[in-house]
Amino acid sequence: WAIHLFLVKCMISISTFLLLSLIVAFHAKEVQAAQIVLELAVCGLHPAPVWGPPCAQGSGSPKTAVTQSWPSFLGQAEALLSLAMLLRLYLVPRALLLRSGVLLNASYRSIGALNQVRFRHWFVAKLYMNTHPGRLLLCLTLGLWLTTAWVLSVAERQTVNATGHLSDTLWLIPITFLTIGYGDVVPGTIWGKIVCLCTGVMLEFNKAEKHVHNFMMDIQYAKEMKESAARVLQESWMFRQVRLKHRKLREKVNSMVDISKMHMILCDLKLGLSTSHQALEKQIDALAGRLDTLTELLSAALGPRQLPEPSQEATQEELGYFPQD
């Protein structure tokens, strides 16, 4: 495990060198010697990659019933340097401030200047608290839980109780967050109590910050309301067009139904006319047959006398000659 520990320390040293380079590049435009030196000193604290024998005891103090030793792979000085590396967490609010874009927003700057609000890290944190509360609380809770649990386990390793174990500190920190306080696991050292007190973080806007944030939220909500109203009008117009198309289609369908009904009526009329025509033809045939029969009867009744032909009869009528029977 000594080789792995040495490699981890080397990686920490390399990442620390890169971090210091980025800090110098960040302050390149506005050179502030005191701030640069302070940040380099804070970020430069880390366990040095020194190859040496593992320390079995932390500080050389006698092992009694009320004290416990540091782990065999980590000395007391290295543990303190490891805890000092947590001071680098001040870079997280700076990263959030630069990522939020508040400094680049002219509206925020102008309204903040009128209300004498300085856009710092706490304002951005409270801004995220009001815009994305679930995501921010989840990340903040998990980060604080893991960080403070590890710090508390390191701070409580010299006590007789079981708070030096990481599993117990992971149980203690949520209980402190929720302020339930079962009392089964409590911190035993002053540093452990300070860590538990620092876990309660209050995020609340003051009056000026709340006014700025509410004003910007009102503008954003008004814009979203206008966009929603425009979308509603657009959807209503599209719905009206669809209804008109549906009405025209229904009228066409009804007209097609009327055409089919008219076709059926015409077919019925045609069938009726054809039936009447056939009946009329039958009646005409029957009448022709009766006329033939009547002609035969008249011919038989007159006997041998011949009927005048139509041309001769017409000539006699013109001359006024009427034969006597």
Q: Tens digit of pLDDT per residue, the chain (325 long)?
A: 677 777 887 888 888 888 888 888 877 776 677 778 888 888 888 777 776 554 444 444 444 433 444 444 456 677 778 778 888 888 887 887 777 777 667 777 777 777 777 777 777 777 777 777 767 777 876 777 788 778 777 777 655 455 557 777 777 777 765 656 666 677 776 766 776 666 655 444 556 656 666 777 788 888 889 999 999 999 999 999 999 998 888 888 777 777 778 888 888 888 888 888 888 888 898 888 888 888 888 888 886 555 455 555 555 555 454 454 4
Q: At what angle do helices 121-131 and 91-100 cross, to 10 degrees?
A: 60
What length is written for the chain? 325
The contacts of residue 1 (CB under 8 Å, 6+ apart) are: 73
Which pair of tokens denotes residue 68? 């416990």
- Decide: 126 and 203 in contact? Cβ < 8 Å: yes
Q: DSSP state, 303?
A: T
- Decide: 49 and 6 in contact? Cβ < 8 Å: yes
d(CA 137, CA 142): 8
The enclosing H or E element of 55 equals none
Could you tell me how far CA 132 lies from the centroid of its own chain? Answer: 14
- Decide: 102 and 123 in contact? Cβ < 8 Å: yes
Phi-psi region of 320 (alpha: psi -120 to 50; beta: other; left: phi over 0): left
Residue whose entry in the numeric block shows the structure tokens 């034969």: 323
| pTM greater than 0.75 (yes/no) | no
d(CA 108, CA 211): 12
d(CA 181, CA 37): 42
